[in-house]
Amino acid sequence: MVDQSAVGRCFTPVTARVEPGRLRYFFNTLGETNPVYRDGAAAQAEGYTALPAPPTYLFCLEMMDAAEPFEFLTALGIDIARVLHGEQRFNYLAPVVVGDTLTFRPRVTSVTDKKGGAMTLVVIETEVTNQHGAHVADAARTIVVRNEVAA
Amino acid sequence: MVAAVGDRVVHKAFPPITRHTLALYCGASGDHNPIHVDLDFARKAGFPDVFAHGMLVMAYLGQALTDAVRPSSIRSFSTRFAAITQLGAQLTCEGHVAELLEQNGERRMRLSLTTKDETGEIKLAGEAIVAL
């Protein structure tokens, strides 16, 4: 079971590029038709230098380009079949657009047992910076681990 | 943007979630957790079937949000995944103005967001802070 010793643990930083084809595939999957994401002129009219990434895409980029997308699970000894996503948060500090190269630095910020140990909540906060060193966003995910409880 | 507390500024309905959607999202998102696409794996983990990625549902909510407000005006976006979203779910995303506020010298609104399925069950509950 994950315990307090995990707090402060950092995982391997991930560098990911916002690629136009992969982003288009994401939009096609979601049926996204908003011109700001599809049409360079519409994006420019909104003040972007290139097509912007949508609000949740940071989460995807980090997983797509990680050498081990589930490192946070294996490193903490968590079985992937026992996790659910509990909460997700993004704070946006600067635009992220096609062509950007982002670096994600994840670390565990809290571990909390719930329901007498039946569940453990693990919060992982990730700082996101771009190719210019600008801090563009912070992401935080809470994962819920369904622990095996002795019968 | 003119907004008053109580206004519904976000509202969008999405087509039913299919196995195909989940397979495509698995690739599009980089989230290859088999629990969302491999029925055998999902059953072994104790679930009756595969189910939607929470982040797929949040992506729909994000799409509904940026249909209503400029993407560059969103300062934060957060959700709690209240219930598992099943195959076939027909999701409706809504956002109401919960508060008008000033932060960092900027006029902003706090939107209270929900995603419900066709039975009205809340799947996601969250909020966004958006510059006015």
Best residue of A48, A90, A142, A144 to probe chain B, by most B CBs closer than 10 Å: A90
pTM score: 0.95
Q: Which residue of B has its CA nearest to A148?
A: B45
SS3 content of chain A, % helix, strand, coil (to 5): 30, 35, 35
In this complex, which of A52, A60, A91 lies closest to B71 when CB atoms are compared? A52
In this prediction the ipTM stands at 0.94
> In this structure, are residues B25 and A29 in contact, taking their beta carbons and an 8 Å threshold?
yes
Q: State whether residue B81 sits within 8 Å of chain A by CB.
A: yes
Torsion from C-alpha of B1, B5, B6, B11, nearest 10 degrees = 30
- What distance in Å separates the CA atoms of residue A43 and residue A68, rounded to the nearest whole number? 33
Answer for the pair B42, B49: CB distance below 8 angstroms, yes or no. yes
Burial bucket for residue A3 (CB in 10 Å: 0-12, 13-18, 19+) = exposed
pLDDT score, position A151: 46
Residue among B53, B56, B90, B74 at smallest CA distance from B10? B74
**Cα–Cα distances in Å, from A14 out to A11, A34, A104, B101, B116?**
9, 29, 5, 35, 33
The minimal CB distance from B76 to the residues A32, A69, A89 is found for A89
Residues of B with CB below 8 A from A59's CB? 29, 55
Nearest chain B alpha carbon to A140: B78
Three-state SS at B75: strand
Tell me the nearest-neighbour CA distance from A76 into chain B, angstroms.
17
Ranges of residues in chain A with a pLDDT under 70 are 149-151
Q: What is the set of domains in chain A, with CATH numbers?
A: 4-146 (3.10.129.10)
Cβ–Cβ gap A70/B33 under 8 Å: yes
Question: Given this structure, which CATH class describes domain B8-18+53-131?
Answer: alpha beta
From first CA to last CA, the distance across chain A in angstroms is: 16
Residue B2 has pLDDT above 80, yes or no: no
Per-residue model confidence as pLDDT tens digits over B24-81: 999 999 999 999 999 999 999 999 999 999 999 999 999 999 999 999 999 999 999 9
The pLDDT tens digits for A122-142 are 999 999 999 999 999 999 999
Name the residue among B61, B66, B69, B71 with its Cα closest to residue B1: B69
